[in-house]
């Protein structure tokens, strides 16, 4: 085990896969000469050269389309969006080409492509640079969506995504790139489609993903001081979603809170609540609660940012609400 930052773990994943498979390449804005907008690709141009670490114009639709076409012809591109807010310019390529080509071609074409980059709020970046689109993309058949929360699972999920024969979106957090954590030595992959229990408990199940895992764990530590034992599930994979791990936890705790950074309407909380009502209704002793961002574009003012985003206080209130039915 070694201690790496989140950006170092992602870089290691990409570099290892590019050494292993010459079909893998990285393309996006500032990934080469500038070493990446967040320095995730630092040093990769020097090792792999300009044919495999490729700077692009500010044209997400264009270079996403180049990636999809090259994947159809046998390459394995990693397309970096400087932020997933900019992926909206390329959403036609992701949704209508990458996700559907295998089915529409009758299985003649696979699209082994990775779209990756930061998602969600990252401080005072205001309304158009602070959005969480995990539920948008996870709504689409033909795509896989993962959301790492630590350097270790960032590396393991990204390596699995690069090897997957299907389009995979790896949705990171800009605020986590400097986070440090222990990463296993040697070959290390995390299967797509399996959640992880990051904290065991018996009173309430708290389901979350991405950087909200750290909010969940902070709230759980505070609740533990009051004798409330919270089980935290890190989904890791959002499509496919690991329903079984959630159900088994709720069978034990009989209560559930879903925490996510997206807006409340059509968020993952609705899907998880529906699933629990149909597959674990008899085990629920209280209605499922959710904690999301406020239903408004993100403001610029820092006090309003803090009011907009989920935080440990709001999570503890939701946990107590399902525990005491108030």
Residue 34 CA to residue 14 CA, distance in Å, equals: 17
Please state the separation of Cα 186 from the chain's center in Å.
23
User: Of the residues 8, 16, 29, 60, which is catalytic?
Assistant: 60
| Whole-number Cα distances in Å, 116 to 9, 84, 146, 208, 290 | 14, 8, 10, 20, 27
Residue 230 CA to residue 228 CA, distance in Å, equals: 6
Strand 237-239 relative to strand 204-208, pairing: unpaired
Instruction: List % helix, strand, coil for the chain (3-state, nearest 5).
Output: 40, 20, 40
| 239-249 exposure pattern, b = at least 16 Cβ within 10 A, e = fewer | bebbeebbbeb
The verdict on whether 80 is a catalytic residue reads no
Residue 248 CA to residue 205 CA, distance in Å, equals: 10
- What the block records as the tokens of 293 is 């961002």
- What the block records as the tokens of 204 is 């309430």
SS3 264: coil
User: Of the residues 129, 231, 260, 261, which is catalytic?
Assistant: 129
Task: Find the distance separating the first CA and the last CA of the chain, reported in whole Å.
Answer: 45
The verdict on whether 47 is a catalytic residue reads no
Active site amino acids: 60, 129
């Amino acid at each position: 085990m070694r201690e790496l930052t989140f950006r170092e773990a992602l870089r290691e994943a990409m570099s290892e896969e590019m050494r292993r498979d010459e079909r893998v390449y990285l393309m996006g804005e500032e990934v080469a000469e500038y070493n990446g907008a967040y320095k995730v690709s630092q040093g990769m141009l020097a090792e792999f050269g300009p044919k495999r670490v490729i700077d692009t114009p500010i044209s997400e639709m264009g270079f996403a389309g180049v990636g999809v076409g090259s994947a159809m012809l046998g390459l394995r591109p990693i397309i970096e969006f400087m932020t997933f807010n900019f992926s909206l310019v390329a959403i036609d390529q992701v949704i209508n080409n990458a996700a559907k080509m295998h089915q529409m071609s009758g299985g003649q074409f696979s699209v082994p492509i990775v779209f990756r980059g930061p998602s969600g709020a990252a401080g005072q970046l205001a309304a158009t640079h602070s959005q969480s689109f995990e539920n948008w993309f996870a709504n689409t058949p033909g795509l896989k969506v993962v959301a790492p929360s630590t350097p270790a699972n960032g590396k393991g999920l990204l390596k699995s995504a690069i090897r997957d024969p299907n389009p995979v979106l790896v949705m990171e957090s800009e605020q986590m790139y400097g986070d440090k954590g222990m990463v296993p030595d040697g070959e290390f992959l995390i299967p797509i489609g399996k959640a992880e229990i990051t904290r065991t408990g018996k009173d309430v199940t708290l389901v979350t993903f991405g950087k909200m895992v750290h909010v969940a764990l902070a709230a759980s530590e505070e609740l533990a001081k009051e004798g409330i034992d919270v089980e935290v599930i890190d989904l890791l994979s959002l499509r496919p979603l690991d329903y079984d791990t959630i159900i088994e936890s709720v069978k034990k705790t009989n209560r559930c809170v879903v925490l996510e950074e997206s807006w409340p309407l059509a968020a993952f909380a609705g899907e998880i609540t529906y699933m629990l009502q149909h597959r674990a209704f008899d085990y629920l002793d209280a209605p499922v609660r959710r904690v999301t961002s406020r239903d408004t574009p993100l403001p610029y003012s820092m006090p309003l940012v803090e009011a907009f985003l989920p935080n440990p206080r709001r999570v503890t209130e939701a946990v107590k609400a399902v525990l005491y039915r108030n």
